[in-house]
Amino acid sequence: MTKFFAMKDNCTTNCTEKCAGFFQKTRDKLAVLQESDFERNEKKLRELLKDERELIQFPIPLFMPVLFVWLFMILFPLVLILDTSNSTHFAIRLEGIIRFYFPLLSSLFIFALNQKFLVPSYVFKKRYASYFALNSLLVVVALFIREVTYFLMERMPGEGVSEFFKTYCFSFVKGHFSLSAVVSFVILVCFVCVLCVLYHLMFRQIVRAFVLRERKRMELQYELDFLKNQLSPHFLFNTLNNISALIQIDSKRAESSMNKLSQLLRVMLYQVKDKYITLQEDVDILQKYADLEKLRLDDSFDFSFNVHLENPNLMIEPLLIMPLMENAMKHCVNPKGKSFAHVTIVQKGNELRFHSENSNFPRKSSRKDSGLGLSTFEKRLDLIYSGSYEYSVNIVDDVYISDLIIHLKEENS
């Protein structure tokens, strides 16, 4: 008996492993197909963006393609109805066309309501009973409108509302209403509901996969740009040269600068791999970076770094604000006037404010992609804090002013 149960357990385990392996292989194959589709569509989009024709650039609202699809679905049956050579030719009468189009239009209307409102508002919020009740109500309303329409086409002179409810509405007597028609329409509506749910599931999965793909690519690109530009050999070479020059002038300051460089390198090479770091750690990185950048500036450089943190342990994405700090420090050197950079960081509750003012003397560069780039910074903000941040830049009297307000996520608290 023991051997029997052992064999049964082994068989169950093997079946489970085979099912898991099959599921994983299928998932991997679908992931490859999905990625190839993304790549193919991305190439098509890049080719489309190269087209400078005026017609291609004409703005088109998103509902227009959907409208054309609906028009095709509605008008295409007319090809069959009006084709005289068709063996199943319909009598071209208003009554025949209405009888043909009524279930089609009713199904399209129910499909549109499900797709736009009912499935997102009820199915994905697990309000299944309400979803079933509303679709049942739609079926009853559609059938009632069908009865009204047929009564208006078939009624005899003198027949009014009372005759409609007494002898016609949902009545089998005159042959216009049948159980088979009701069952067929209910089955059609059920099929429409299933299609809408599957459509939303697939659409959400595709959008989720695309967003995750773009987010991963942006994060990798951000880290790559940062390592190529911020921690470039040029940056290290200049910093080490500045520290070397300080050794003979001020050995203690040189030693302190070397420690800061070592800490900055260690943090940027290892700590930034974490999804979140504390706000205090991120501010410390900014401070160390500013201290190292000041080594190339003379004593007349006016720099202030004011920090007020209500909760220093609040979590934030690493190096999120670094591009603004880098921009303030790199483009503030003014050979014709006083150079300065004033930075203020304030955190209260879930709100983080960054404000910087610096003398505006941007470096000239032949490369459009030099530095981290504020465009990459804004893309990263859009990915992480879409709709939860405010960013503005102003230049007033040769003073470059940056303001950033981020409403941090509750999960970061």
Cα–Cα distance for residue pair 170/179, rounded to 1 Å: 10
Model confidence pLDDT, tens digit, residues 38-88? 777 777 766 766 666 665 666 777 777 777 777 777 777 776 666 656 555
Which of 88, 105, 199, 187 has the alpha carbon at shortest distance from 146? 105
Model confidence pLDDT, tens digit, residues 133-178? 999 999 889 888 888 888 888 777 777 888 888 778 888 777 777 8
Cα–Cα distance for residue pair 146/144, rounded to 1 Å: 5
Cα–Cα distance for residue pair 132/5, rounded to 1 Å: 45
Which of 175, 172, 168 has the alpha carbon at shortest distance from 151? 168
Cα–Cα distance for residue pair 25/67, rounded to 1 Å: 39
- The answer on pLDDT for 370 being more than 70 is no
Q: What is the mean pLDDT of residues 210-222?
A: 75
Report the relative pairing of strands 399-407 and 389-396 from DSSP bridges.
antiparallel
Contacts 24+ apart (CB under 8 A), 134-137: 135/110, 135/189, 135/193
pTM: 0.47
